């Protein structure tokens, strides 16, 4: 093996005991943050496109603010603030979930905003001509198309999000990376554990982005 | 809750408030420590930026070379490798695994290993933008270069790259801002940068909100400065009469 690295210590027990839990949390965090992020991101996008100052200004400040701060700092902020706000201590995992929904909402809102703006004005006018209210128009005409157009970008963002979940290391939440780090420490093989973590992250992200590329090609043909 | 901004004037080794917020003789206040940490953040990000721009441009060009599928494939593999592993994991690989696997790297200071990690991670993203920029040029540009009798190198140097790099300035701006933000992961290998300062000062002083606010402001200020510098460059190098379509950058 390469310069003193030895991967022979890996066995099924390590994986099921240390890594599986972490992997499960990373996936869970990714899914929850994606769904929550898209929901609140869409709301933020609608606020920014509403043309009403009372909505536009706070949404713009929130999105640009979140996007100009490092994610690690956002994670630390929430870990500090959430217990103060709700008045009782929260675990690193719960704090991470709230953080990622709030943080990713800013990024998803930019994607949804581009998606909504990509819908021709005529579609909105057609909805209005049919007597639809603003809410009906958005829900039945604009958002379904915007969502569909942006699906590949949303999924790409989800892959980035999965990579970003490793940053919960800063507050010690037990995710995939932490699982490998813990196993590496216990078995005295930290370097090999990092290498394995890299391989697993690569396999997941590369596989997913391959699928997104396939999906993108299919959507392009249908359109 | 009350504010206590005096925490920045506190001496880090003795429990006294310095009147001038500045301690001499080997001591330092939290303000001094923070400014020092800011310097480290800028140094890490700045050095990594140089690495990422040089490597990213080369890899990006290699991905568009005509008639060399082997080179293109290798460059594509580079991008996939550095794009699909989280920056934190790449940092650990450079900091812990590389020196163990290749003993030569044991002589390399930790600061440089962090610069390599951030630089190569970002290089994959820059390469992606450079490739997109070159491929956004009309095919005729390349043919024009060939018709002039230019070598491939000359075609890139004098025809393709001058325009392509201008086209991709907006996404390069956001990648550079991302790099600055990503430099915060250096806390994980104990580089004394801003995030590391935030965590330690929070613990020592229990004035987390003040400390975090100051650090967040410094990050936002630095990112804004990067944004302005690029806006300035964009204006300086703009070719009159040639309107470059604005691009958008994603990710973080």
- Are the Cβ atoms of B252 and A114 closer than 8 angstroms? no
Which residues, in sequence order, are CB contacts of B22 under 8 Å at separation 6+?
B29, B31, B32
Provide the domain limits for residue B230.
Answer: 38-193+218-237
Integer distance in angstroms from the first to the last C-alpha of chain A? 50
B243: confidence class by pLDDT, cuts 50, 70, 90: low
C-alpha span between B251 and A205 (Å, rounded) = 14
Question: What is the C-alpha R_g of chain A?
Answer: 21
Please check whether residue B80 is in contact with residue B60, taking contact to mean a CB–CB distance below 8 angstroms: no
A223 CA: distance to closest CA in chain B (Å) = 22
The ranges assigned to domains in chain A are 2-222
Determine the residue of chain B that is closest to A195 in CA distance: B93
Question: What is the C-alpha R_g of chain B?
Answer: 22
* Residue B86 confidence (pLDDT): 95
C-alpha span between B132 and B137 (Å, rounded) = 9
Q: Which of residues 25-44 of A touch B (CB under 8 A)?
A: none
Site of tokens 């929260």: A90
* Residue B1 confidence (pLDDT): 65
Domain annotation covers residue B28: no
Domain annotation covers residue B207: no
B248: confidence class by pLDDT, cuts 50, 70, 90: very low
pLDDT higher than threshold 50 for residue B104: yes
For chain A, which residues score pLDDT lower than 70? Answer: 1-4, 9, 221-223
pLDDT higher than threshold 80 for residue B129: yes
Degrees to nearest 5, angle at CA A27 with B123 and B127: 10
Please check whether residue A112 is in contact with residue A146, taking contact to mean a CB–CB distance below 8 angstroms: yes
Please check whether residue B179 is in contact with residue B48, taking contact to mean a CB–CB distance below 8 angstroms: yes
Average pLDDT on B170-195 reads 92
- The residue among B131, B134, B120, B117 whose CA lies nearest residue B55 is B120
Please check whether residue A63 is in contact with residue A110, taking contact to mean a CB–CB distance below 8 angstroms: yes
* Residue A144 confidence (pLDDT): 92
Size of interface A-B (CB pairs under 8 A): 118
Domain annotation covers residue B126: yes
Question: CATH number, domain at B106?
Answer: 1.10.3720.10
**Tokens describing residue B124:** 């994959």
- The residue among B95, B91, B245 whose CA lies nearest residue B163 is B245
- Are the Cβ atoms of A191 and B198 closer than 8 angstroms? no
Domain annotation covers residue B247: no
- Domain A2-222: CATH class, spelled out: mainly alpha
Residues of A whose CB is below 8 A from B200:
none
Can you list the alpha helix ranges (DSSP code H) found in chain A? 12-14, 20-49, 53-67, 71-86, 92-117, 121-129, 134-136, 143-164, 176-186, 190-222
Considering only the beta carbons, identify the residue of A76, A169, A206 that sits closest to B88: A169
C-alpha span between A95 and B231 (Å, rounded) = 37
User: Please, which contacts does A90-93 make with residues 24 or more away whose CB atoms are closer than 8 Å?
Assistant: A91/A173, A92/A168, A92/A171, A92/A172, A92/A173, A92/A174, A93/A25, A93/A29, A93/A168, A93/A173, A93/A174
B247: confidence class by pLDDT, cuts 50, 70, 90: very low
B244: confidence class by pLDDT, cuts 50, 70, 90: low
Taking CA atoms, A91 is separated from A81, A82, A98, B166, B245, in Å, by: 13, 10, 11, 47, 46
* Residue B203 confidence (pLDDT): 87
Structural domains counted in chain B: 1
Determine the residue of chain B that is closest to A4 in CA distance: B101
């Amino acid at each position: 093996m390469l310069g003193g690295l030895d991967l022979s210590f890996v066995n099924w027990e390590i994986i099921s005991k240390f890594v599986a839990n972490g992997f499960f949390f990373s996936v869970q965090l990714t899914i929850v943050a994606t769904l929550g992020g898209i929901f609140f991101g869409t709301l933020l996008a609608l606020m920014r496109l509403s043309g009403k100052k009372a909505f536009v200004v706070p949404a713009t400040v929130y999105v640009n603010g979140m996007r100009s701060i490092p994610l690690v700092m956002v994670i630390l902020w929430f870990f500090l603030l959430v217990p103060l706000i709700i008045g009782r201590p929260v675990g690193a995992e719960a704090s991470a979930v709230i953080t990622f929904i709030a943080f990713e909402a800013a990024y998803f809102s930019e994607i949804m905003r581009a998606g909504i703006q990509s819908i021709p004005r005529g579609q909105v006018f057609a909805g209005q001509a049919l007597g639809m209210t603003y809410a009906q128009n958005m829900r039945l005409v604009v958002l379904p198309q915007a969502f569909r157009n942006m699906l590949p970008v949303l999924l790409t963002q989800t892959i980035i999000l999965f990579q970003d979940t490793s940053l919960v290391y800063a507050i010690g939440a037990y995710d995939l990376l932490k699982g490998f780090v813990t196993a590496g420490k216990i078995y005295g093989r930290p370097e090999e554990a990092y290498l394995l973590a890299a391989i697993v992250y690569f396999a997941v992200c590369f596989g997913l982005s391959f699928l997104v590329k396939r999906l993108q090609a299919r959507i392009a043909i249908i359109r | 809750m009350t504010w206590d901004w005096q925490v920045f004037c506190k001496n880090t080794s003795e429990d006294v408030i310095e009147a001038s917020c500045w301690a001499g003789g080997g001591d330092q206040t939290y303000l001094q420590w923070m400014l020092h940490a800011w310097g480290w953040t800028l140094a890490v990000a700045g050095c990594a930026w140089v690495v990422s721009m040089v490597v990213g441009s080369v890899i990006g060009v290699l991905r568009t070379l005509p008639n060399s599928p082997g080179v293109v494939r290798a460059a594509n593999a580079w991008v996939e490798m550095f794009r699909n592993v989280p920056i934190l994991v790449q940092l650990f690989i450079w900091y812990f695994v590389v020196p163990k696997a290749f003993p030569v790297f044991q002589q390399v200071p930790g600061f440089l290993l962090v610069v390599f990690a951030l630089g190569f991670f970002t290089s994959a993203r820059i390469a992606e933008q450079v490739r997109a920029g070159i491929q956004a040029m009309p095919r005729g540009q390349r043919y024009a270069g060939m018709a002039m009798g230019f070598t491939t190198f000359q075609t890139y140097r004098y025809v393709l790259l001058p325009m392509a790099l201008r086209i991709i300035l907006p996404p390069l701006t956001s990648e550079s801002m991302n790099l600055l933000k990503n430099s915060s992961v250096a806390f994980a290998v104990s580089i004394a940068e801003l995030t590391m300062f935030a965590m330690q000062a929070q613990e020592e002083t229990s004035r987390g909100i003040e400390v975090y606010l100051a650090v967040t402001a410094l990050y936002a200020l630095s990112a804004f400065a990067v944004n302005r510098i690029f806006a300035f460059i964009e204006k300086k190098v703009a070719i009159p009469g040639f309107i470059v379509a604005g691009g958008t950058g994603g990710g973080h």
